[in-house]
Structure 1
Amino acid sequence: MHQTTFDAPDAALAVGTRHAGFTVTHVEAVPEISGQAYVLRHDASGARALWLACADVNKSFAISFKTPPADDTGVFHILEHSVLCGSDAYPVKEPFVNLLKTSMQTFLNALTFPDKTMYPVASTNTADLENLMGVYLDAVLHPAIYRRPRIFEQEGWHLEVEEEGADARLSYNGVVFNEMKGALSDPDDVLYQALSRQLFPDTAYRFESGGNPRAIPTLTYEEFLQTHARHYALPNSYTVLYGDMDIDRELAFIDERFRNAAERDAGEPNPLALQAPVSPAPARVEMATAAGNASVGVSYVIGSAADRTRVLAVDVLLDALCGSNEAPLKRRVLDAGLADDFQAMLLDGMLQPQAMFQLKGTREGAAEKFRALLEETCAELAEKGIPRDKLSAALAQAEFNLREGDWGGYPDGVALSMCVMSSWLYDDERPLDYVHYEDALATLKDGLDKGLFEQVLRELVCQNPHAAEVDLVPVEGGDAAEEAAELEARRATMGDGELAGIAAEVEALRAEQEAPDSPEALATLPQLTVADVEDPAPEPAPRDVDAPLPCIAHELDTHGIDYVYHYFDLRRCRVEELPYVGVLSDLLGKLDTRRHNASDLDTLIEQNLGGLDVFLETYTHEGDLSYAAPTLVIGACALSEKTERLADIPREVWGETLFADDARIRDILTQRKVGMEQYFTGSGHAASVARAGSYFSRASKASSLMGGLDYFLFLKELLGNWDTRKQGLCDILGNLAARIFTADEVTVSFIGSAEDRERFWAAGGDLGLRHAGTGVAAHALELPEPVPVNEGFVIPSNVSYVARAFAPSDADPGERGVWAVATRALTYDYLWNEVRVKGGAYGTGFKHTGENLREFWSFRDPHVDETLARYDAAAAWLSEWKPTTEEFDGYVVSTVAAHDAPVKPRALARRQDVARFGGQKPGWREEIRRQELGCTTEQVRGLAEALADQTPSGVCVFGSREALEEAGVDLKLCELVGE
């Protein structure tokens, strides 16, 4: 049965009707997705199911299990990884990776939360979606973990022996073990977990669901299997289907697999109970990290997940009070000088959501003062009233975000499946609380002038019996020293026979990892062929239109939301000015203007716009390392009825900002510095590969100067000499703004209907931009010749991020479509097996850039030298790569599918703008797609010659000082955090 319209419920799916082993138990309209919800139960097992029926062709499936942890071993995280390493019906080592290599998926992953584990997939192709569903259902219900114990060793943990004889040392390895060493190098994660232990001393939330590296090695294989048997059972499951599909067909598909599920009868799942209110004394947590990472957190439990309206009210409240430097609570805390930054966040998607307030980069004595200041200020605001303009602006912003439904990298169906689990996991009768939002918004609007938010604030902060405070204190040593001592003690109890046994088991593990899957096993995997790839719908083409300024028009269906981007060319700036452009972009929209103070401007933006973003991009031309067009972009969006505000608010920001308040400027730049330090620790793979690219590319060097590592080093020096630099900085910024924001340098891109675009230009005219006149200098930006080096950047982390980039090779044919297929093979075959599976890194990849650079990277990696050696061996592997016809077909299909993946209108328009500024000719994407579809194994193997050309090259590693100093490559070291 294929429903063609979703405006009304389908009578064939009425409550009580049976469909392929499922019975409909509830039907409800969901106007938020212009669709219907059908709640079902599987008759044989009691498994829960839900179909969110709507017109979206990007369909999704997710099966989830309630998995509250009972300790810190990370067993559910290890299970999440491990069940995707083969199953009864698909006896290959890595079916998850095979799907990444061969399917048309638009999303494929698995996710561990503090109380649940989710397995979501999405695809626009029905056959492909069923392939993904089949593999995932067999993985969770019939995993190979019961017959292949080394999956546990690979994904969880195992011992290894370094050196031989009397000098033999032990070490731990394992994908999740190394991932969590990286995760718990982040002070935010450590603080959050410490607060959870304080708030929930009697429930599952006191444990680290991802696993604590100190506890992970206590988990046994037997406990691992027993935990799976108790929790991965159908009565403990939740299935969500989404999109335009033949529901009877998909339910029959699922029913067949549910009926064949193993019945292990291993006992009840771990309980998940409400925590009675507690108010423990402030706790102190020590962490081996940089001194600048000192922080204090105070969390308040909001109530339960059942109160959707209250949770949304707190979300709005936190934005109104702390959403910007000018919000009343954040301004009060910043003015108190307790820390570099202060933020608040809603932590939901759990049985008892919480609001967390955090100081970052705390000063001495901050812990003793923070909570009193926080609660006194909230009490004052609750008594005297929260500024109405701040509340109404925050509520308008929340409404815009809910209506826009932009979930970042998640397809709508996957994101909505997560929303479903935010209430359904805790109450079988409430699967839709967090999909709906209209009623909650109406209640909040009605209560805006009736004291609703003041009452919520009073109950949340001032009268809350369920709260906790944690002071995170940086120290020397920490987990790394504890691990070393633990391993040394363990080694001392072992004789030569035990050491030999460990070495033999590692050797056996390596042999199993290296053994190829048999053709018979590979043949069990479902796979599309190139013949299954359909021609994509043509992309609507942008066009240049007559307007007061150069204008690109994207006439797309944006569901009543308009977007505008203003691209200001920076090539008339001098190279030494680019870091100041970075400062300018960080400040715009956050300072006083001639018409509004910073607080009122912040309110004006939230009341009228869905967002105002200032950011920097550098465009390059394909195959040209010397070309660089750095650009400052100011983007804004608004509901159609507020299109005129898109014309006047950005104009005020770029044309009337005052750069006189050096105290506020310092606050903003300090916060930016703190944010970058955390970025380097948490996303060092992205930072390292960007840095490695700057060794060759002028465009990458410009980006580094404006917002990358060079900019960070500039910020450190600027803030370190603030008193002598601040006045000159203000003068420079004013001069830069006057030169950048001119009609000579701008192109405007408007995304929305032609009628709204006309209203925009009628209201905006020339946007206040004047031509600079006859004396305007030519584009004369001269960036220095990049120089390849080997660099190591010291960060407070127990794992490393290893990048290596190679200059263009004369042997490179430059066919981007062929490189795209090769990239998929290198990433999901060679590197996955060598760097992740064998090496224990959590992630790894390769990319070939438009400038013909070849770049490798790793994520949360326990190694440096071994990883670099594996990069060097990639060319030899590629030269010998001989996939079967079916395997190669899969690579082509998945590469084309990634190329064709649907994107939202704003993302499509932005992609087209970037292509335009990068000099791409019309039809360039179609040409790449033709190359992908038409490439051969011989062409891919032929790239090995270019890949083997390793001079010149540059290495960039982020990691601990010890790891960098012990690396075999000579690295120029720089301390990023802590000086």
Structure 2
Amino acid sequence: MKFEINKVYHGFKLIEEKEVKELNSIGRIFEHEKSGARLFQLQNDDDNKFFSIAFRTPPEDSTGLPHILEHSVLCGSRKFPMKEPFVELLKGSLNTFLNAMTFPDKTMYPVASRNEKDFFNLMDVYLDAVFYPNLINTPEILMQEGWHYEIEDKNDDITYKGVVYNEMKGAFSSPEGVLMRKIQESLFEDTVYSNESGGDPEEIPKLTQERFVEFHKKYYHPSNSYIFLYGDGDLDKQLEFINDNYLKDFDRITVDSEINYQKPYEKMKTVEEFYPISIEDSENDKTFLSMNFVTGKSTDPEVYFAMEILEYLLLENSAAPLKKALVDAELGKDVFGQFDSSILQPTFSVIIKNSNEDKSEKFKKVVFETLNKLVEDGIDKKLIEACINITEFKLREADLGGYPKGLHYNMCALDSWLYNGSPFTNLEYDSILNKIKSALTTDYFEELIKKYLLYNNHSTMLILKPKKGMAEEKDRELKQKLKDYKASLSEKEIEKLVEQTLKLKKRQITPDSKEDLETIPMVSIDDIDKKAEEIPQQIKEENGVNILYHNIFTSGIAYIDLYFDTSMLKRELIPYINLLSGILGKISTEKSHYSELSNEININTGGIQFTSSAFGDVKYTDKFYPKFIVKSKVLPNKIPQLMNLLHEIISTSNFDDKKRIKEIIQQMKSREEMKIFERGHIVAANRVMSYFSHAGRYMDELNGLGFYKFITNLEKNYETMSEEIINNLKEVYNTIFNKNNLVVSITSEETEYADIIKNLSTMTDKLKTIEFNTQEYLFDIDRKNEGLLTSGNVQYVAKGYNFKKLGYKYDGTMLVLKTIINMDYLWNKVRVQGGAYGCFMRVTKGGTIGFSSYRDPNLKETLNVYDNTVDYVKNIELSEREMTKYIIGTISELDQPLTPSMKGERASTNFFRNISQEYLQNERDNVLNVNVEKLKKFADVIEDIVSKDYYCVLGNETKIKENKDIFKELVTVFE
């Protein structure tokens, strides 16, 4: 259908239409005349249709009102009155993405689906949720999702409970999380950005129901909305639906949601803050130093892209000159940067981790001296070319690791659109990149450094210091505050709190009515493809090398992954495999200094990455295949250069630079620490697997908590261990890169394949060809049941075992059971009633069933929930509609869209794990043919799993020590 400028379509007037060549899309800007809603559409051939409605929601304080509201609008609405429509969609839609997101100044509600009927269902539920939520007349929603006083008996102590309250307690436990919040706060002390939109746990309990409702009424109006549509959908039909069902009922109003600019500072401000560490931790080398700058406006696309490239140029690659200067000055053990372009005034930060307060002045001196030198002497043009090239490659590839492209483009559009700019601004990047490329012959970036870094007084020096006992002190203060509060209440007031708590609990445990549940629209089983997707894979041999070839449309990019078997290595060298993956490409070779190597990689390829893993055989419980993996991507005309680079790295790397290897080890330790805070549920779950599985124990030593302890020891004792470390690295390096243990995975179109094979021998013919013996890794596995102690304010509670070891077989029916348990039992018990942010049951083809919670205020209570899963399974009763819903939800998870590179990786993984297409089809058939009786048969599996009593908890040291009787070992995580 052809659309005409200034013509009205279902209430939407078309303001602008143009081609966005960079995205292979047609972009259209509409305005809804009656309601004032803005709408931006990107039309293209992507079948993963995407919709989002966003609102500008400037936080007025740090109670987390925008964040709690984001959770709460999805807890029932006018047309969909059940308690949690969001969960019902997770259970039974074909969504490829379903979420809600709070930012410092906006709130987004995005959904995606490849099925048109499902897509309209998702839009319907989300639009009704944001415009007509039940939270207005149901105070229990704020109590559940935000906070409430919890007291079930008048003689009990009062506590705080709430999903967001506990989520943010977890977020504020991470020093990096505290750092990022304090950076923004320090730079914008007079604007809304000084407030924490997510919520400060100390401020959240100040939020009242009245203010909650007022905020919704003020900001959740179409006149303050930004609607985004993306993909191959029928735009006319979509506009008709949005208008006829929602927007026609609203009149345009004036919404004061304007975000003000921060008045520039006259000079750099110094700010000191604290974060908690365990009483057992040392305070030495645990300070963060951060220099932060406000850099222009996000509506300026040149700043938007150029500052991001500059941050990568100065701080994020192996040739980064500012990073090198800071590392050489030995100011800290990790250096990184951050450019935040998602707010009105973007910010640029230079950050040193694992430093000390007394180094702050030297930090400032080194930063400014280095930047001045770069301006005076000029930046290496090859480094500039490398940084622009890798940025451009990533922009054109637009590979978001499985997230819908629509989500990425929506966020880019909002980065200007939200601030009264055009949504096209940050999507049309070709002309901007061409302008930035003038830096190859001019002093473009040098002038940028002068303007935004050297001569910019709107800046701060943030010193974030560790404080022992801070968490315990705050906990004592909170307990005393609540004790004093209770003492101030009359008996009648206490009884009222008890009554409110019990009323909330009654609401939480009362099932939705059949009538309410049936208001949620559903697709049918007939809308599901009965055939499992088959990823093309040809198994070949080319010039003595085993090849896995995936003939897939890749937009002209070739993905080449090298899988080297590492099973010949001695057990004590296992963690060195992962260490090697962090070092290769970042150390010099016989030909190139590591900075030159970095430039060559970024100029000639889309990136070369090194990683390590192990692939478990689906047929045999403890059989697994360890691999060292080299991932690369390249445009066809650069294939010869890629092969030369791969050869140079895997055949001629030099391990004699002790100083450089020490720097990399320090950085790896730092990044492992960040992962532990960010992914505590995965750390705890994987640790449990190491108790009962040889493969699990291998992975723990390779890249789990065992590896963190390993690299902490190397970093701590590097001076005395350096020779040993280097010798072990050389042994791993010289052993694994062998033509006889190599499988090459290629994902490309046919035309590129021939070029890849023609050039492959450049690298493979120079590899050693040595026969080797694989060894079986057998460990002394044991039920350790550890309590992993941190200064965090919440727990990550994990429990599990392997059912194949107990004589059971994997069946696709288990995936449906997982969906049911996750979306019904665990969601209600651990999140809704327990107050944790999340809880998950995992089922693997290898036989592991594992439970893990995320940002959980509880410990024993959550373990009890896991144990009681068996009773839930024994008593499952589902209507035909409910069963259909869970089947659809399970298929939705199986059918998540994959990028071309992900398809190649998935097919290669299946090959190594002996997963055939027949196996996958059988799994899908099991899902589609499930019934209640089949589900109930798995009660015995669950019972046997939980009765083995293998568990691990990562979390607050006080809480864990209070429950020390249930643990075999207490382990301090950070030293």
Q: TM-score range by the shorter chain?
A: over 0.9
SS in 2 for 1:177: helix
Q: Deviation string for 1:884-919 (max 9, x for gaps)?
A: 211110110121122122211110110010010011
Contact 1:229 1:264 in 2 (8 A): no
Within 5 Å, which residues of 2 pair with 1:108-127?
108-127=98-117
Q: Which residue of 2 aligns with 1:275?
A: 262
- The alpha-carbon deviation at position 588 of structure 1 amounts to 0.8
Write out per-residue CA displacement over residues 377-433 of structure 1, whole angstroms, 9 at most, x where no aligned residue.
111111211111111100000000000001123201122111111110001x51111
CA distance in 1, matches of 2:262, 2:444: 26
Measure the CA separation in 2 of the matches of 1:860 and 1:537: 35
Alpha-carbon distance change, 264 to 490 in structure 1, aligned in 2, over 3 angstroms: farther
Structure 1 residue aligned with 2:445: 453
Preserved CA contact (<8 Å) 1:193 1:207 = no
> What letter is aligned with 1:26?
E
Paired residue for 1:356, among 345, 349, 357? 349
The answer for the alignment partner of 1:257 in structure 2 is: 245
| Contact 1:45-1:235 at 8 Å conserved across structures | yes
Give the counterpart letter for 2:837 in structure 1. Answer: Y
One-letter amino acid of the counterpart of residue 335, structure 2: F
- Structure-1 separation of matches of 2:247 and 2:383: 54
Residues 623-662 of structure 1 correspond to what in structure 2 (within 5 A)?
624-662=620-658
Match of 1:234 in 2: 222
Show CA shifts across 1:470-507 (max 9, x none).
10011133343442332233233234433333222211
TM (normalized to structure 1)?
Answer: 0.96
Residue 65 of structure 2: which of 51, 54, 75 is its match? 75
The corresponding residue for 2:493 is 498
The CA deviation at 1:448 is: 2.7
What residue in structure 1 maps to residue 158 of structure 2?
Answer: 170
Superposed displacement of residue 815, structure 1: 4.1
The residue that corresponds to 1:799 in the other structure is 794
| Secondary structure of residue in 2 paired with 1:695 | helix
1:947, distance to aligned residue in structure 2 (A): 0.6
Aligned counterparts of 1:124 and 1:59: Cα–Cα separation in 2: 6
Q: Secondary structure at the match of 2:916?
A: coil
**Do the aligned partners of residues 319 and 974 (structure 1) sit closer, same or farther apart at CA in structure 2, a change above 3 Å counting?**
farther
- The equivalent residue for 1:434 is 426
Partner AA of 2:295 in structure 1: I
3-state DSSP class of the match of 1:625? coil
Q: Matched residue of 1:544: which SS?
A: strand
Higher deviation after alignment, 819-828 or 803-812: 803-812
- Within the alignment, does 1:21 sit opposite 2:11 as a pair? yes
SS at match of 2:640: helix
| Pair 1:778 & 2:773 matched | yes
The amino acid that maps onto 1:524 is T
Q: Are the structure 2 counterparts of residues 725 and 974 from structure 1 closer, same or farther at C-alpha, using a change threshold of 3 Å?
A: farther
Q: Distance in 2 between matches of 1:570 and 1:384?
A: 46
Identify if the C-alpha distance between structure 1 residues 498 and 925 changes in structure 2 by more than 3 Å, giving closer, same or farther. Answer: same
For the residues of structure 2 that align with 1:113 and 1:90, how far apart are their CA atoms?
26
After TM superposition, the structure 1 stretch with the greater mean CA deviation from structure 2, 72-81 or 278-287, is: 278-287
Partner of 1:208: 196
- Most deviating of 549-558 and 717-726: 717-726
Conserved in 2, the CA contact under 8 Å of 1:83 and 1:140? yes
Q: Post-superposition shift, 1:132?
A: 0.3
What SS does structure 2 have at the residue aligned with 1:238?
Answer: strand
Q: Distance in 1 between matches of 2:381 and 2:970?
A: 48
1:975 deviates by 4.2
Residue 340 of structure 1: aligned partner? 333
Alignment correspondent of 1:8: none
The answer to whether the 8 A contact 1:807-1:952 is kept is no
**How many angstroms does 1:766 deviate by?**
6.0
Residue aligning to 1:295: 288
User: Equivalent residue for 2:943?
Assistant: 948
Q: Which residue of 1 aligns with 2:607?
A: 611
Partner of 2:368: 375
Deviation at 1:727, TM superposition (A): 0.6
Output the CA distance in 2 between the equivalents of 1:209 and 1:358.
23
Structure 2 runs not aligned, ≥5 long: none
Q: 1:534: Cα distance to partner? A: 3.2
Partners of 1:817 and 1:388 in 2: CA distance: 55
> CA 1:263–1:293 in structure 2 vs 1: closer, same or farther (change >3 Å)?
farther
Distance 1:777 1:108 in 2: 48
Residue 135, structure 1, aligned to residue 128, structure 2: no
Residue range with higher mean Cα deviation, 221-230 or 715-724:
715-724
- TM-superposed CA distance for 1:783, in Å, is 2.3
| Mapped partners of 1:604, 1:245: distance in 2 | 42
* 1: CA distance, partners of 2:523 / 2:210: 37
Work out whether 1:677 is the aligned partner of 2:673.
yes
Q: What secondary structure, in the 3-state scheme, does the structure 2 residue paired with 1:241 have? A: strand
Matches within 5 A, 1:381-420: 381-420=374-413
Secondary structure of 1:136 counterpart: helix
| 1:905-944 correspondence runs (5 A) | 905-944=900-939
127-136 or 315-324, larger mean C-alpha shift: 315-324
In the other structure, the counterpart of 1:5 is none
Q: Write the letter of the residue equivalent to 2:620.
A: D
TM-score by length of 2: 0.96
**Secondary structure in 2 aligned to 1:339?**
coil
The one-letter amino acid paired with 1:28 is: K
Indicate conservation of the 8 Å contact 1:790/1:954, yes or no: yes
Letter in 2 for 1:848: V
Q: Which residue of 2 aligns with 1:107?
A: 97
Please state whether the residue corresponding to 1:491 is helix, strand or coil. Answer: helix
Aligned to 1:286: 274
Amino acid at match of 2:64: G
1:37 shift after superposition: 0.6
Contact 1:844 1:858 in 2 (8 A): yes
Instruction: Say if 1:518 and 1:538 are closer, same or farther in 2 by CA, change over 3 A.
Output: closer
> How far 1:270 moved relative to its partner?
3.9
* 1:299–1:81 distance in 2 versus 1, CA, 3 Å: same
Q: Which moved more, 1:268-277 or 1:601-610?
A: 268-277
Matched to 1:277, the amino acid is P
Structure 2 distance, partners of 1:126, 1:35, is 19
Q: Write out per-residue CA displacement over residues 415-456 of structure 1, whole angstroms, 9 at most, x where no aligned residue.
A: 2111111110001x5111122211111111123311111101
Question: Which amino acid is the alignment partner of residue 499 of structure 1?
Answer: I
Taking a change above 3 Å as real, the CA distance of residues 262 and 293 of structure 1, as seen in their structure-2 partners, is: farther
CA distance in 2, matches of 1:492, 1:769: 80
User: 1:796-851: CA deviations, max 9, x gaps?
Assistant: 21011010012316777534320111100000100000000000000111011122
Partner of 1:190: 178
Confirm or deny that 1:247 pairs with 2:235: yes
Alpha-carbon distance in structure 1 between the residues aligned to 2:449 and 2:913: 49
The offset of 1:536, in angstroms, is 5.9
The one-letter amino acid of 1:129's match is F
State the Cα deviation string for residues 902-951 of structure 1 (Å, max 9, x = none). Answer: 21111011001001001112332222111111111211122111111134
- Partners of 2:154 and 2:494 within 8 A in 1: no
Q: Structure 1 761/42 Cα, relative in aligned 2: closer, same or farther at 3 Å?
A: same
Going from structure 1 to structure 2, the CA distance change for 1:200 and 1:376 (only over 3 Å counts) comes to same
Deviates more, 1:15-24 or 1:184-193: 184-193
How far apart, CA to CA, are the structure 1 residues paired with 2:147 and 2:812? Answer: 38
Q: Is the 8 A contact 2:34 2:248 kept in 1?
A: no
One-letter code aligned to 1:473: K
- How far the C-alpha of 1:661 sits from its partner, in A, is 1.1
* Alignment root-mean-square deviation, CA: 1.8
Whole-angstrom distance in 2 between the partners of 1:191 and 1:257? 44
807, 818, 821: which one aligns with 2:816: 821
**What residue number does 2:301 align with?**
308
| Distance in 1, Cα, partners of 2:324 & 2:422 | 38
Alignment of 1:500-579 (within 5 A): 500-535=495-530, 538-548=533-543, 549-579=545-575
| SS of residue paired to 1:24 | strand
Deviation digits for residues 268-308 of structure 1 (CA, Å, limit 9, x no counterpart): 44431111211452010122225354201111111001111
Name the CA distance, whole Å, in 1 between partners of 2:965 and 2:632. Answer: 46
3-state DSSP of counterpart to 1:678: helix
Q: Does 1:716 align with 2:704?
A: no
**2:454 counterpart residue number:** 462
* AA aligned opposite 1:179: E
Kindly provide the amino acid, as one letter, of the partner of residue 81 in structure 2. Answer: P
Taking the aligned partners of 1:978 and 1:848, their CA distance within structure 2 comes to 30
Shift of 1:231: 0.4
